[in-house]
Amino acid sequence: MWKRIELFCNPGDNVPYASLMPLDTSTLRFYNFPMAIEKAAGLCTLRDQGFRLGSCMVSIAGKKALACQATLRKKNSNFERLISAVHLSRPENYLSIYQSGCNFSCRKCHSWYFSKHAEGEWYTPEKILQACLQYEKKVTWDEPRSKATAYHAHDTCRCCGACALYQQRSSLCPGILDSSRITLSPQGFGPVRNIVGFTGGDLTCQAEFYARCSELIKAQTKIWVLIETNGYGLSPANLDLLQRAGVDAFWLDIKAYKDDVHRWLTGCSNEWILRLPEEMLRRDFTLEVLSLYIPGVVETGQLEAIATLLARVDVELPFTILAFFPEYRMKDHRSPTLGEMVTAFEVVKGTGLQNVRLGNTGIFAQKEEEIQILLEKVGRGSF
């Protein structure tokens, strides 16, 4: 039997939004039509909660499959997640768990080679716990739960290494840490903070995996648990589960304010995502928010709208405006200029948000005179 059904395809896929396909569940696994798979086989946990399937397709063995099938599995009643890498990240200065498989298909993704391609090693929550236990032995700086974020990493260290290499602080050093707390890792110098972050591909729609990891980590370490997320899988029920499991913090990446732009960038609506800051704070999570400045796509107007939304929730919410750099399916788009980033900062600050920072500074300010402009216009500690 054939039935005409609505499709929700990955951005850039040269396929229509409606087509014909057979309702044969034995052949559904590798179709490049996630909505068809959802409707025909009922595989999406978000659907059971009244939400729509994300843009979830990933490549595996030259074919396409749902990320939650290709990069997450249950073996002997225990979850296993496909992990691309586990290491100390700079400048976040915390342990990062780089996950394969994602429920978005971002045109600008800088992790596309493992977030949209099934790649890595299978990790159980217990194996992730072991990585955290080893990491905790190396911690040199304990943050309070309120600073279990990437945003607050720059409060203590700029990761320049000057104090370790030359025994003197750089002019931008916060002056908080002595050199004994600075370590060298493959990504550079900095402290080792008591935080583990789940990053890369996002499958928070499968909240049970993250809940189990958090339960183990919180029971056996003093490490804060942070999830870097696009927010799409964080339904009320999933937020409640993660709260009970002890998750401490979220880094929420709001890709765009306008829904049509968000759909173009990611393949998904942002209707629920824009409600998440209030939902997260109501559950006492630590929260930081990030948005990219993408010339011609997400510019000052949308950043101001996102900031206005955040200010209504809490004027002290940390908000980072990150400079876009060309990657993946957006290599023909340029990065923002210094002037554009400064203007965006000033407008966003005008909404009342108190903690605003510019990120990816090296993209738009590479010369000494440009750093001086930032110091004058934005201020020390805001970039």
Q: Which residue has the higher pLDDT, 377 or 12?
A: 377
Averaged pLDDT, 206-223: 98
Could you give the count of Cα atoms lying within 13 Å of 60 in the half-sphere of its Cβ?
A: 23
- Res 28: pLDDT: 34
Averaged pLDDT, 349-365: 97
Q: Which residue has the higher pLDDT, 133 or 10?
A: 133
Spatial distance between the Cα atoms of 89 and 158, rounded to a whole number of angstroms? 13
249-264 per-position pLDDT tens digit: 999 999 999 999 999 9
Averaged pLDDT, 216-231: 98
**How large a percentage of the chain has pLDDT more than 70?**
89
Bridge partners (DSSP) listed for residue 87: 96
269-295 per-position pLDDT tens digit: 999 999 999 999 999 999 999 999 999
Kindly give the interhelix angle for 368-377 and 338-349, rounded to the nearest 10 degrees: 10
Spatial distance between the Cα atoms of 57 and 242, rounded to a whole number of angstroms? 24
Query: What letter represents residue 344's amino acid?
Result: A
Q: Which residue has the higher pLDDT, 234 or 76?
A: 234
pTM over 0.75: yes
Averaged pLDDT, 141-154: 98
**How large a percentage of the chain has pLDDT more than 90?**
85
pLDDT at residue 182 greater than cutoff 60: yes
- Contact of 16 with 7, CB cutoff 8 Å: yes
Largest pairwise CA distance in the chain: 74
Burial environment of residue 329 by CB neighbours within 10 A (0 to 12, 13 to 18, 19 or more) = middle
Cα 248 to Cα 9, 57, 288, distances in angstroms: 33, 29, 12
pLDDT at residue 82 greater than cutoff 90: yes
Strands 195-200 and 188-190, sheet pairing: unpaired
Mean of per-residue pLDDT scores for the chain = 90
pLDDT at residue 23 greater than cutoff 70: no
Averaged pLDDT, 31-55: 67
Kindly give the interhelix angle for 207-220 and 236-244, rounded to the nearest 10 degrees: 20
Burial environment of residue 138 by CB neighbours within 10 A (0 to 12, 13 to 18, 19 or more) = exposed
What residue ranges of the chain are covered by domains with CATH 3.40.50? 278-383
Nearest to 303 by CA among 245, 254, 234, 242: 254
pLDDT at residue 39 greater than cutoff 90: no
Lowest-pLDDT range of 55-69, 116-130, 283-297, 328-342: 55-69
pLDDT at residue 24 greater than cutoff 50: no
Nearest to 274 by CA among 260, 261, 258: 258
Nearest to 298 by CA among 233, 342, 344: 344
Strands 94-99 and 195-200, sheet pairing: parallel
Lowest-pLDDT range of 35-39, 299-303, 324-328: 35-39
The tokens describing 82, both together, are 């496909």
Averaged pLDDT, 303-312: 98
Give φ, ψ of 50 to 5 degrees.
Answer: 90, 10
pLDDT at residue 6 greater than cutoff 50: no
Give the 3-state secondary structure percentages of the chain, helix then strand then coil, rounded to 5.
35, 25, 40
Domain over 278-383 is classified CATH 1.10.10 = no
- Res 17: pLDDT: 26
- The CB density around residue 366, as the number of other CB atoms within 10 Å, is 10
Residue 240: band (very low, low, confident or very high) from pLDDT cuts 50, 70, 90: very high
Nearest to 355 by CA among 324, 325, 315: 315
Residue 42: band (very low, low, confident or very high) from pLDDT cuts 50, 70, 90: low
Averaged pLDDT, 283-309: 98
Residue 217: band (very low, low, confident or very high) from pLDDT cuts 50, 70, 90: very high
- Res 45: pLDDT: 86
